[in-house]
Structure 1
Amino acid sequence: MTTTLPQTGTVSPASRLRDFAARTPDAIALREKSRGIWREFTWAQFWDQAETFAHALLAHDIGRGDRVAIHSDNRPEWLFTDLGSLAAGAACMGLYPTNPTAEVEYLLNNSGSRLLIVEDEEQADKALAVPTSDLPMLERIIYLEHRGVDAYDDPRLMSWDAFMEAGQAHRTAHPEAVAVRMAEAKPEDLAYLVYTSGTTGPPKGSMITLANLDFATREIAGDEGIVQPGPGPDDLIVSYLPLCHIYEKLFSVVFNTGAGVPIHFGESLDTLVTDMRDVQPTIVQGVPRIWERIHAAIQVRLASASRLKRINAAIWMTSARYVGNTLVRREGRHTLLSRGLTQIGNLFLFRSLKDRVGLRRVRYGVSAAAPIAPEILQFFMSIGVPLYEAYGMTENCGVATTNRPGRVKLGTVGEPYSGCELRLDPETGEILTRHPAVFAGYWNMAEATARTIDSEGWLHTGDVGEWVDGTHVKIIDRIKDIIITSGGKNVSPSEIENTLKTSPFIKEAIIIGDRRKFLTALIGIDFEVASEWAQRHKIPHTTYRDLSEKPEVVKLVQKAVDAANEKFARVEQIKSFRLLTKELDHEEGELTATQKVKRSVIEKKFSDMIESMYR
C-alpha cells in the first residue's frame, strides 16, 4: 500500500521517487539478478520498500539528521536504505565492502551512526569485532543475509525481515508519519556523509545536503546535463561502482529518481561482464581502471583468436585507427567516410567486440574519478563506443566539467556545466568551482572546511589545471602529487602513469622522482593478461611473484616503458623501473577503498626497491 503524501517540503531523491511511484506505478524502476534470473521492481514497489524502511527508522526513534550506515555491495536494499533514510529525514553513510575492521570502526565512530545495515556475515564480523564500548552511538546492526549471523548472540543484531516488519507495523499505526517527516525537510538538511578516499590521511566526511542534490540532479540529469539527449526511462544503467561514492550515486540514485532510468544490479563484480552482456546498457559509467581492463580484455581476445580472425581484426582495427584519428581531429564529429567505415566495421568486427563486453547499445559512456589516457578514450571512440571524459569530486557533487558530443577535446575533462562557475587560481593554477552543489563542509572538521571553501564560496579542488582554447579544462595533476626534480623541473606523474597503463600488461604504475635527478617507476603487471600471454609463449609460471620475475615479462614491460618514453620530453622519461612482486591491496594500506594508490605508503614500503634504482 502506498500512502498519498503531501506535496510540501524540499525536493529530494525520496520525493522524486514518491512522485514516480504516483505517476508511473507499474513501470520498471529496478532489476536485480539472482541465480541467473532477473527480478523486477516497479516504481510502486520501490517506493513501498523505501517508505517501509523509513517507518522502521521512525519505529527505532531515528530522528532528523541522525546517521544510518550501510556496509554492502550494490543491491536493491542499498537503495531502499538510501531513499528510505532520506524520507525519514536521516542521513545515509556508506562503507566500501573492502573496508577492514579498523576503517569500519573509524567511519562508524566519526559519523556517529546509530544504525548499521550489513550485507552478510563477513561485514557483520567487522562491526562485531569492535568492542561495544568503542562504538557507543551504534544501537542496531541489521543484517540482510541470514547465513552464519542468525547464530550470533549480540543484542544489537536484527534481521532485515524483522526490521521491515517493524516498519510495516509502524506504517499501519502511523500511516502519515513519513509524509510528515518529508514535509518537514529543509534544503540545508544533511542527506549524505560521503567519506573521501583518504590518500593522505584519515577519510573526511563530506556533508551533502538536499539542496546540493537538487541542484546536481537538475544540472547533471537534465536535457543539458552530462548525457545528451538527456537520460530517461528508455535508458538502462548497470550499478556496479561502490554506492558509497558520489560518482555511482549520481547514476544509481540521481539518474534513477531524477530521470526515471531503470537501474540493474548484477550478481557480483565477478559476473560484471556477463551482467553487462545481459543488459546491454545504454549509459555506462566507469573509472579509468574499468575502461583499461575492458581495453586489455579486447586486446587479449584479438591476440588469441584464430589466424583468419586475426587477419580480419588487423584490417578493421586499421580502419578503426583512421576513424579514431578523424574523431579526435574533428572533436567527435564524423565525416561521411569515417561514419561509413564505422558502420561496415560493425558488421565485420566492432559489433562482436562490443557485444562481448556489454557495450553494443551504449549511447553514452563516461570516464571520471581519476585521469585516463587519451589513447584509451580514442580506442573506444574508434570502435563506435561514444566515451567522454568528465570531471568532478565529492565536494562539488560531481558537478564541474564534461566533454559533450561534437565538442570533444581529447586530453581535457571538457567544459564547465552551464550552472557551474569555474576559474583557475592566477598564482597556482588550482581549479576553483562555485555553484549550489558545493558541499556544506567536512563533518566536525571546521579547519579543513575553511581551507577548502573560501570566504567567497569558491571550492578549492586541489587539482591544477589549464584552459585549452579558452573553453575546455585540462587537468595537470593533484597539487600534492606534482614532482619537482632536483633540477627544478615540474613533472605530472599521472600523465606518465596513464600512458604506461595503456599497455594491457600494466595494471599499476607509480612514478618516483621528487627531489631526485631523474624519474623511475614501480610497475605492477596485470596478472590475468600477462599470464595469458605467458601461456601462449609457453613460459611456465605459478604465482604473481614468479611471473613478475620472469626475464621475458621484464622485457615485455620494458617495451611498454620505451614506447611511453617516446611520447615525453627527456626530463619526463623513465630511466629505470622495477616490477612489484605482489599486487597492491586495500587491506594492506597500499590502496584506498577507491583503488587509488597511496603514494606515501608505497614509497615507504618499497623504499629498498626504489633506492636500488638510484645507486
Structure 2
Amino acid sequence: MEKHYIDAIASMSVKNPSQVILRGKDGAGPWYDVTWGELWNDVTACSRALISLGVKPGDNVVIFSQNTTQWITSDLAVMDIRAVTVPIYATSSPGQVRYIIKETGAKVAFAGAQAQYDILAGLCSEGAVELDRIVVFDLSVTLSSENSVYFRDFFSSVPASGAHADELESRRTQRSDSDLATIIYTSGTTGEPKGAMLGHDAIMQAMKIHDIRISLGPDDLSLCFLPLCHVFERGWTWYCLYKGCPVSVLTDTKKIGEALPEVAPTAFCSVPRIYEKMYQKINANVLSGPRIKRWAFNLALGIGRRYNECLRLGKKPSWWLRGLYTVADRLVFSTVRNAIGGRLRIMPTAGAHVPHFIIDFFHAMGIHLMVGYGLTETCATVSACPDVNYELGSVGTPFPEVEVKIGQENEILVRSRTLMRGYYKKPEATAEAIDAEGWFHTGDAGMLDEGGNLFITERIKDLMKTSQGKYIAPQMIESRLTGDALIEQAVVIGDQKPYVTALVVPNFAALKEYASAIGLKFKTVEELINAPRIRKLYEDKINELQKELAGFEMVKKFTLLAKEFSMDSGELTPTLKIRRKIILERLAPQIALMYGQGQGSPTDK
C-alpha cells in the first residue's frame, strides 16, 4: 500500500490512462470528461507552475472556490509538490478569508468565480493580505490586478522540461507519509475557526479502513455536490479517486435535483437535510396523487420495510416476502429511484441526527442510507452502519483500528491513526482537544451499547437545561419537526427556560400550495403565516410530530418565520447546520414573546 496519497493517484493514472475519472460542467453547457491521463498531465503541469512561483515543501496554498474539476486538480498538485492545501468555503466573508490567509501565511491562492476573486483582489489592494499570485478557475472572471492569472494560462506557461520539472521529480522521490497534506478550518457554529492539520499518514489510514467496510470501484459513479472544503465531501472524493470511482463534480449545488437524473450516480455523500428534502418531495408527490396511488405506495412501503428489516438483521426473507418485494420494487420503488437517477445504492450521511423514519423510508426502497459519524479532526469517518446487523438510531460501529470510548459527561473520545496532528498555531487548543494518552475529545455526548453501536446524544455545548433542571437535546427535536413536508427549518429553544419553544420556518412552496387548495387568499408571506387556519395547521402538526417525546421535551409555543435561515446571512454553516448562537441573538425579541416578554406579533421576523 502506498504511503502518500499522491503515489496512489499517480499509480491509478498509469494503470488506467484512458478511463474517465472526473466529469464537470460549465454553467448550462454539457458535461465534459477528464480521463486519468488528462488529470495527471494537468496535475503535473500545475505542480511545475506552483514550483515556478517558489512554493516550497510545507508551504500553505489556499483554494477559495466552489466545487470544480480544477479544484481537485489544484488540490492534487499542491500535495504533489509536498505543499499543504488550505481550502476556504466559497461563501466565506472577507473577514474570514483574511483571518485564514494571515494565519497560514499563504502566498498563492486559487479562486473560483468573480465573488471569490473580488474578495482576494480587494484584500490585496487594501494591504490586508500579501498574495504573490491569484490563479482563477473561471474564464469569465474579470481580472483587476497584476498578480492574477487564469488557471488555463497558469500551468501552460511553464515548460515541461528544465529546472522546475527537475525540482518536481526530486520532490516526488522525497514524498513521505510524514508530509502534512491539508489544514482544514472548521466552519464552526460558534467561536474562532481552528485549522485541523491532517497528514498523508492519516489520509492513507482512512483509505485503508474504508476498504474494509465499503465496496466501491470503477463501475460506480459518485456525484460531488457538498463543498469540497468540508472534510466529508473531500474525504469521500479522495476515497472515490483512490478506488478508481469516477466523480461528477457539481458546481451549482442548487441544481442537485436536475443533476441526479442526468448523472445517474450509484453513490454520493450528503448531510441529512438533503435526504429530508428528498423524502418530503417524494411524499408530497404521492399525497397529491389519486387515492389508488397513495394506497399502492403505502402498501409497497410496508412490504419494503418488512423485507429490509430482515436484511438489516442479517436474515433471509421468506420466499413469499421476496416475491412481494419484487412486485413492489418493479411497480413502485423503481419509479421513485428513477426520479433520482435510478442507480443509487449507497448514500453515506453524517453531520446531524437522522430521524428513524427517513432511514426506514429509503431502506424500504432499496437505497442504503449509510448513517455515520465523523469530524474534521478525525479525517472524517469514525463509525458507520454496516450493511447488516446495525441498530436503527445509531451511527453504526467504529471502523476497524478506530478506538472509541465514553468519557466524563458521556463525551465521545476517539483514538486512531486518522487523527489530526493538532490545530494549526494553536497549541493550547490542541492540548485541550487531545489528552496525554492520545484520546481526542470530540465535544459530542453519546453512548455505546453492548453490540458496539455508537449513539449520539447531542453536542455537549448544545445540550440545554431547562429552568426545571431537565436536559433537552435540541437537534433530536429539530429533526423530528423538519421531517414534515410543511417545515423547512426549525430551531429549538429551552436553555434556562421554563419550557421548550421553537422558531419554525415553513416550506413556503408546500404551504402556498396548501393555502391555494383550501381557498385561502393572501398578499404577502407575513399575511399567510399569520392566518389563523395556518397557525392551527402548524399547531396540530407539531403536536403530532412530538407525541412520542417526553412532556418536558415537547415544544409548548412556536413562532412561524417569514424568511429562511441562509448561509449568506451567516445563520447556516456551509454544510447547512444552524448557527444557534447567531440566530438566538438576532431573534431575541421573537423568542422573548414566546416566554411572555416584550410586545408584538410572534410571527414577525
Normalization by structure 2: what TM-score? 0.94
Which residue of structure 1 aligns with residue 469 of structure 2? Answer: 488
1:109-132 per-residue CA deviation (whole Å, 9 max, x = no partner) reads 222221111122121112223254
Distance 1:209 1:237 in 2: 25
Measured after TM superposition, the shift of residue 260 of structure 1 is 0.8
Give, in whole Å, the separation in 2 of the partners of 1:89 and 1:489: 52
Distance change in 2, residues 1:24/1:131 (3 Å): closer
Counterpart position of 1:300: 284
Provide the aligned C-alpha RMSD in A: 2.0
Range with bigger deviation, 436-445 or 518-527 = 518-527
Partner of 2:332 in structure 1?
A: 349
Deviations 1:213-268 (A, max 9, x none): 11011111x1x22x2xx211111101100000110012212221x21111112362
Which of 523, 544, 547 aligns to 2:504? It is: 523
SS in structure 2 of the partner of residue 571 of structure 1: helix
- Separation of aligned partners in 2, 1:123 and 1:48: 26
Alpha-carbon distance between aligned partners in 1 of 2:139 and 2:88, rounded to the nearest angstrom? 20
Give 1:317's match in structure 2, choosing from 277, 298, 311: 298
| CA–CA distance in structure 1, aligned partners of residues 106 and 164 of structure 2 | 25
1:467-486 aligned at under 5 Å gives the runs 467-486=448-467
| 1:428 Cα deviation after fit | 1.3
> Deviations 1:352-371 (Å, cap 9, x if unpaired)?
1111122x212212211222
1:294–1:357 CA contact under 8 A, matched in 2:
no
Cα drift, residue 483 of structure 1: 0.9
In structure 1, how many angstroms separate the alpha carbons of the residues matched to 2:545 and 2:565?
Answer: 22
Q: Paired residue for 2:116?
A: 123
Mapped to 1, the partners of 2:321 and 2:514 lie a distance apart of: 33
Farther off after superposition, 56-65 or 194-203: 194-203
CA distance in structure 2 between the aligned counterparts of 1:292 and 1:350, rounded to whole angstroms? 18
> Quick one: distance in 2 between partners of 1:303 and 1:124?
46
Q: 1:470 to 1:346 in 2, by over 3 A?
A: closer
SS in 1 for 2:381: coil
- Name the residue aligned to 2:603: none
Q: Gaps spanning 5+ residues in structure 1: where?
A: 1-6
Q: Is contact 1:67-1:92 (8 Å) kept?
A: yes
Pair 1:593-2:590 in alignment: no
Q: Once structures 1 and 2 are overlaid, which stretch shifts more, 201-210 or 127-136?
A: 127-136
CA distance in 2, matches of 1:341, 1:551: 45
Alignment partner of 1:68 is 2:61? yes
Gaps of 5+ in 2: 597-605
- Could you tell me how far apart the structure 2 residues matched to 1:22 and 1:521 are? 56
Residue of structure 1 aligned with 2:176, choices 183, 186, 190: 186
Of 139, 147, 164, which aligns to 1:146? 139
| Partner residue, 1:82 | 75
Q: In the alignment, which residue of structure 1 is the partner of 2:152? A: 161
TM-score (normalizing by structure 1): 0.92
Matches within 5 A, 1:256-275: 256=241, 258-266=242-250, 268-275=252-259
Matched, 1:254 2:230: no
Q: What is the CA–CA distance in structure 1 between the aligned matches of 2:504 and 2:368, rounded to whole Å?
A: 30
My pick for the range that moved more, 27-36 or 234-243, is 27-36
Deviations 1:429-475 (A, max 9, x none): 11111111100111111111111111111011111111233320110
Task: Note if contact 2:466-2:496 (Cα within 8 Å) is conserved in structure 1.
Answer: yes
1:285 equivalent in alignment to 2:278: no
Residue number in structure 2 paired with 1:423: 405
SS at match of 1:431: strand
**TM alignment of 1:88-127, pairs within 5 A:** 88-127=81-120
State the shift of 1:603 in Å: 1.3
Aligned to 1:548, the other structure's residue is in SS state: helix
Q: Is the 8 A contact 1:391 1:402 kept in 2?
A: yes
Tell me the SS of whatever aligns to 1:61.
coil
Partner of 1:50: 43
Whether 1:369 and 2:351 are equivalent positions in the alignment is yes
* Structure 1 residue 32 corresponds to structure 2 residue 16: no
Which letter does structure 2 place at the counterpart of 1:175? Answer: A
1:242 paired to 2:227: yes
The one-letter code matched in structure 1 to 2:347 is G
Give the superposition deviation at 1:600. 1.4
Distance 2:520 2:50 in 1: 58
Q: Give the paired residue count.
A: 593
Q: 1:172 offset after TM fit, Å?
A: 5.3
Contact 1:56 1:170 in 2 (8 A): no
Q: 1:180 to 1:590 in 2, by over 3 A?
A: same
- 1:473-504 Cα offsets, whole Å, 9 max, x none, are 11000000111111211121111111111101
Note the C-alpha offset of 1:54.
0.8
Q: Report deviation, 1:400.
A: 1.0
1:463 aligns with 2:444: yes
- Residue 300 of structure 1: SS of its match in structure 2? helix
CA distance in 2, matches of 1:410, 1:266: 31
TM superposition shift of 1:510: 1.2
Matched residue, 1:397 = 379
Matched position secondary structure for 2:269: strand
Asked if the contact 1:98/1:586 (under 8 Å) is kept, the reply is yes
Query: 1:405-430 CA deviation, whole Å, 9 max, x = no partner?
Result: 112211000001111011111x3111
Counterpart selection for 2:323 from 315, 335, 340: 340
CA contact (8 A) 2:286 2:293 kept: no
The alpha-carbon distance between structure 1 residues 188 and 130, as it changes in their structure 2 partners (threshold 3 A), is same
Q: C-alpha distance in 2, partners of 1:529/1:171? A: 60
Secondary structure at 1:194 match in 2 = strand
Instruction: Go from structure 1 to structure 2 and tell me whether the alpha carbon gap of 1:176 and 1:21 turns closer, same or farther (over 3 Å shift).
Output: farther
* Residue 21 (structure 1) aligned to one of 3, 9, 13: 13
1:380 maps to which of 355, 362, 381: 362
Q: Distance in 1 between matches of 2:412 and 2:15?
A: 41
In the alignment, residue 344 of structure 1 is paired with which amino acid?
V
- Aligned-residue sequence identity (percent) comes to 28
The answer for the alignment partner of 1:3 in structure 2 is none
Q: Which moved more, 1:518-527 or 1:126-135?
A: 126-135
Q: Distance in 1 between matches of 2:433 and 2:554?
A: 34
1:293 and 1:444 map into 2 onto residues whose CA distance is: 39
> 1:4 is matched with which residue?
none
Tell me, yes or no, if the aligned pair for 2:180 and 2:197 is still in contact at 8 Å: yes
Inter-partner Cα distance in structure 2 for 1:261 and 1:382: 26
